[in-house]
């Protein structure tokens, strides 16, 4: 069938994990690949409604029939990976790790924790960036996944495995991390960026597949973009408070979000098309998803309202593209091709 790549169009936390799981389920994906490192967490819901935040495994680890894949371009924290495997009771047959994936060592974490990264760019100091730097310096193969005895049950070359799946007509989902505005190469706010490129092309390269394999590039947006706490970089629109969003949307629940990794309050701002239009130009997405519609109107949890529909229409006009899918809550993704039929 082909490959669907899920990437963020703002500054991360757009809801990519939920969307990746939606595409894996709706396309009957055989495998889901998680790229990048542990400096971001993806939140999703299990079959019984349980909420899970995964920093290493793809969100489809919660689904029983999907192969989880960490490719050569992945950065692995053994403690986090082991904890997630144990928490989900993930059998060895459902996880494949490429021997060429890079290990995040305790030294990598310590180097970032004792540096000024947190102050300068709001870094999570997970050690991912230091591991990327060590890989670039090409010091030793001792810290590749293939050299770790505890990973032996999971090790197999990923690229030929995925190629065989595609040749057999299977579908593969690549679950990207973070957002376009954090790209090391393309962010307009460098050095307020992450340690790697965050485009669909980069995620594909980390996986080892061809551009000709791609069926869909899915760009995920959120109604109110966020950045992590601290001096993590500017927004393109005025920064507001979670309380203000709740008040305007008629929400009586606390909407405030903390980061999956550092548990610090996220900064939030009004929707602005500036970074989104750049993300569209760089990724040329075939599908655009707009999440957190229920933040715009609390009544839009499993149906659309006139207020929510007007917001979506305004977003489409400002980004110059139609929105294809809508996220109306933590576990709801619906088609947006005919909003009139969805209105309450």
With b for 16 or more beta-carbon neighbours within 10 A and e for fewer, the 82-119 pattern comes to eebbeebebeeebbbbbbbbbbbbeebbebbeeeebbe
CATH number at residue 174: 3.40.440.10
Q: Shortest CA distance to 312 belongs to which of 283, 329, 292, 298? A: 292
Question: Per-residue pLDDT for 302 more than 70?
Answer: yes
Provide the pLDDT for residue 338: 55
Place 337 in a pLDDT band, splitting at 50, 70 and 90. Answer: low
Provide the pLDDT for residue 204: 97
Q: Measured at the alpha carbon of residue 67, what is the angle toward residues 174 and 217, in degrees to the nearest 5? A: 15
H/E element holding 112? helix 106-113
Q: Measured at the alpha carbon of residue 313, what is the angle toward residues 310 and 319, in degrees to the nearest 5? A: 140
Tell me the residue length of the chain. Answer: 344
Give the pLDDT mean for 332-343.
64
Give the pLDDT mean for 110-130.
76
Question: Per-residue pLDDT for 11 more than 80?
Answer: yes
Place 6 in a pLDDT band, splitting at 50, 70 and 90. Answer: very high
Across the chain, mean pLDDT equals 91
Provide the pLDDT for residue 256: 92
Provide the pLDDT for residue 229: 85
Question: Per-residue pLDDT for 309 more than 90?
Answer: yes
Place 166 in a pLDDT band, splitting at 50, 70 and 90. Answer: very high
Q: Shortest CA distance to 56 belongs to which of 140, 151, 181, 138? A: 151
Q: Which two tokens stand for residue 333?
A: 């993704």
User: What is the 8-class DSSP label of residue 39?
Assistant: S
Q: Which two tokens stand for residue 325?
A: 């899918």
Share of the chain above pLDDT 90, in %: 72
Question: 114 or 136: which carries more pLDDT confidence?
Answer: 136
Provide the pLDDT for residue 74: 96
Full domain range(s) for residue 314: 2-342
Question: Per-residue pLDDT for 260 more than 70?
Answer: no
pLDDT tens-digit readout, 27-83: 999 999 999 988 878 877 666 666 788 999 998 899 888 999 999 999 999 999 999
The residue written with tokens 């996880």 in the block is: 95
pLDDT tens-digit readout, 179-225: 999 999 999 999 999 999 999 999 999 999 999 999 999 999 999 99
- Number of domains, the chain: 1
Place 246 in a pLDDT band, splitting at 50, 70 and 90. Answer: very high
Place 86 in a pLDDT band, splitting at 50, 70 and 90. Answer: very high
Q: In what order do the strands lie in the sheet with 267-269?
A: 226-227, 267-269, 239-240
Provide the pLDDT for residue 41: 80
Provide the pLDDT for residue 122: 63
Residues 6 or more apart whose CB falls under 8 angstroms from that of 334 comprise 325, 326, 328, 342
Q: Which residues pair with 68 in a beta bridge?
A: 32, 95
Burial class of 121 by CB neighbour count within 10 A (0 to 12, 13 to 18, 19+): buried
Provide the pLDDT for residue 42: 80
Q: Shortest CA distance to 38 belongs to which of 53, 16, 21? A: 53
Question: Per-residue pLDDT for 322 more than 70?
Answer: yes
Question: Per-residue pLDDT for 344 more than 70?
Answer: no
């Amino acid at each position: 069938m082909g490959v669907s790549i899920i990437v963020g169009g703002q500054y991360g936390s757009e809801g990519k994990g939920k969307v990746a799981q939606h595409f894996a389920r709706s396309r009957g994906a055989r495998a889901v690949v998680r790229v990048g490192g542990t400096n971001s967490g993806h939140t999703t819901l299990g079959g019984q409604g349980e909420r899970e935040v995964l920093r290493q495994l793809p969100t489809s680890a919660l689904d029983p029939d999907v192969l989880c894949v960490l490719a050569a371009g992945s950065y692995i924290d053994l403690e986090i990976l082991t904890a997630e495997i144990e928490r989900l009771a993930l059998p060895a047959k459902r996880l494949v790790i490429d021997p060429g994936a890079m290990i995040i060592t305790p030294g990598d974490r310590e180097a970032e924790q004792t540096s000024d990264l947190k102050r300068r760019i709001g870094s999570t100091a997970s050690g991912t960036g230091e591991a990327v730097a060590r890989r670039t310096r090409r010091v030793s193969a001792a810290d590749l996944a293939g050299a770790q005895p505890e990973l032996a049950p999971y090790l197999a070359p990923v690229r030929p495995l995925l190629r065989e799946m595609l040749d057999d007509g299977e579908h593969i989902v690549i679950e990207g991390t973070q957002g376009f505005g954090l790209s090391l190469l393309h962010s307009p706010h460098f050095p307020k960026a992450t340690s790697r490129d965050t485009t669909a092309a980069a995620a594909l390269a980390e996986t080892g597949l061809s551009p000709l394999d791609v069926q869909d590039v899915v760009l995920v947006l959120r109604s109110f973009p966020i950045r992590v706490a601290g001096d993590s970089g500017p927004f393109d629109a005025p920064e507001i408070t979670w309380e203000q969003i709740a008040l305007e949307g008629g929400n009586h629940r606390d909407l405030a979000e903390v980061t999956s990794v550092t548990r610090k309050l996220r900064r939030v701002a009004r929707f602005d098309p500036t970074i989104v239009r750049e993300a569209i130009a760089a990724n040329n997405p075939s599908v655009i998803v707009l999440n957190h519609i229920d933040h715009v109107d609390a009544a839009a949890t499993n149906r659309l309202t006139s207020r929510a529909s007007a917001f979506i229409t305004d977003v489409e006009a400002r980004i110059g593209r139609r929105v294809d899918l809508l996220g109306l809550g933590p576990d709801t993704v619906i088609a947006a091709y005919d909003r009139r039929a969805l209105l309450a």
